[in-house]
Amino acid sequence: MMSAKTFLRSLIAFSTLTASLCAQTRVPHHPLDALTTDEYWTVHDVLQQSGHLTGKTLFSSVLLHEPAKDKVLAWKDGDPIAREADVILEAEGATIEARVDIVARKLEFWKPVPGVQAPITESELDTMSGVAKKDPRVIAALKHHAVTDLTGVRCEPIPITWMIFPEQAKHRIGYGDCTDSHGVYHPWGRAIEGVYILADLTSEKILNVIDNEPVPMSQGDINYEEGEATPREGTKPLLVTQPLGPGYKIDKGEVVWQNWHFRFRLDPRVGAVINLVRYQDGDRLRSVMYEGSLSEMYVPYMDPGEGWNSRAFVDAGEFLLGGLIKPVGPDDCPAHAQYFTGLVPSGAGAPVLRPQLACLFEHASDSPAWRHLEGDVISGRPSRELVLRTAAVAGNYDYLLDWIFQQDGTIRVAVGSTGIVETKGVKEQTVAHSMGEEPGKLGHGTLVAPNLVAVNHDHYFSYRLDLDVDGADNSFMVDRVVLEPLTGHTRKTIWATQSSIVHTEKDAILDLDLRHPSMWQFINPTQHDARGYPTGWEIMPGATAVSSISLEDPAQRVGAFSGHQLWVTPYQADERYAAGTYVTNSGGLQGLPEWTKANRSIENTDIVAWYTLGFHHVVRLEDWPVMPTLWHDFLIRPVNFFDQNPTLTLPHQP
């Protein structure tokens, strides 16, 4: 006879397997669903049959081309589904855009785009590493640095974000260093410092090799993969099970949980794209957000040295490399999580299956939905959350990207930064660090191991949030906290709120100011709650940072969105990426800085919010050899959307 424990395990396994199978589909159920395997092949075949492709054509990007927003909102289950794909290709240094009508199996256009460069592909990096390791100048430089066994050596001249070398004007140029992973599992912390390579990625030639004075390579133990998994004293099993299955439902791609309704797809460039977010409020299914996603990432390093002053990465736009997000596993997601498979294009345009690109799970939160003690009576309710988690991996860094739906109508958007800090080889093995009355000398990093400095840097994430509060036509309202002087009172000064509608997009470029705080609300001026307030949702910042680097700096010009916490623009279907579509070899000031120059109206129309989440990273010893996860977040929460607290009647068990 089956024991209760065995039955429970079987039930959980069956529920998980069933959910995983349901998460995979060979046909789209909705116009905003991700491209399927068959659709990838259709795109490939149409382009192949067009006669435009050659043996040197590389697919840099294949993405869903979303139908017009009004058509999506009018679409009903059972209606025909229009499907198109946008493709970026690289052919011998030229960048080409193409669009394929998947249903009609038709090439809509093939358009060379001068003056821009397509994102880098894995095949380009692999090819150039092999070319570099055969170049006599590279071999001689490596020998000068005491590296003669090239088994573990990889050289990566990667495309440069902005114009540095004159060769970039007419060629696809890469610049980078070499690493040696001999004796370790990964190359981070094993750079062959002082050897830098300039390469033409199109002609596959090494243009120049810079060979500076060698510095000792750090020999510290970086094999964290072999670290023991030892329970600390007092550790006991901590188990969460859902023997009756998850509390959410997924029907043809729509997730329904605790009054929330939403869809999502896994996009190769930006990761999870959340669509058609709605909330069931009594007998009304009310719109909250048409679409939300990461838009861009910007990571500039702060070292003036040769080989380092060129390091500023715009990760989503530069390095698709098999998709921005990578698989998550049991150390990322709880045992009861459901996993979702995704697809990315190969360099030849073929679909590549990526298992476990996202996980979805619910859990009891660490705080009550509400509570109050009156007399001896504690009243309150516990709460639970639904988490959609992905993990972006950009070289050495990993970022857990969470969309967290809460029962009170709040969406918490969180970024957990972890992975490996980028390091620079140095001569020093220890530091003589002392502080006197005068400020210390300028520092650009932290000596995390002998001969190894982790360089200071920033992280900025732009989120594109197409809020549709009770409909598409919204306005942006700022509630400012202003001082109110008093006379004839005990108090001399209090503060009050002063609301104003922002009329144009330049006036909606805003920054946090703790001395002059404000609340950022997106309201529907035609819909009102029971008290007469316009219904709205607020973007509420958490701990964050803004770039103080001047726009005269060429790296900052490319990542210019990081100069402000909030931007608001009128909805335009082709405005999707905060730093522009093409960020390699860029002159900068593309995307948000370019669009907002028109200073368009954002009043009572379809508008989009762009929120910048960021932090300055001054590295600690505790961040090495792998960084503890550091979380930053912001909230998207209702303001006068409900007539009262929507969690009043939650059960006493989460």
Show which residues are catalytic. Answer: 315, 397
Q: Beta strands of 450-599 (E only): which ranges?
A: 452-455, 457-467, 473-485, 493-502, 518-528, 534-541, 566-570
Q: DSSP letter for 167, please.
A: G
User: CB of 344 within 8 A of CB of 354?
Assistant: yes
| Residues paired with residue 265 on neighbouring β-strands, in sequence order | 273
Q: Beta strands of 346-485 (E only): which ranges?
A: 351-364, 370-374, 377-381, 384-394, 397-406, 411-419, 423-425, 445-449, 452-455, 457-467, 473-485
C-alpha span between 208 and 634 (Å, rounded):
45
- Residue whose structure tokens are 């039955």: 7
C-alpha span between 426 and 268 (Å, rounded):
37
Q: Which of 15, 11, 9 is nearest to 339 (CA)?
A: 15
- Report the amino acid identity of residue 404: I
CA 290 to chain centre: 18
Buried b (16+ CB within 10 A) or exposed e, 354-378: bebbbbbbbbebeebbeeeeeeeee
Q: Integer distance in angstroms from the first to the last C-alpha of the chain?
A: 33
User: CB of 102 within 8 A of CB of 66?
Assistant: no
Peptide bond into 638 cis (omega under 30): no
Give me the count of residues in the chain: 654
Residue 508: helix, strand or coil by DSSP?
helix
List C-alpha distances in Å: 46 to 28, 191, 267. 19, 43, 21
H or E stretch at 137: helix 136-144
Q: DSSP letter for 562, please.
A: G
Q: Which of 451, 315, 484 is nearest to 394 (CA)?
A: 315
Residue 166: helix, strand or coil by DSSP?
helix
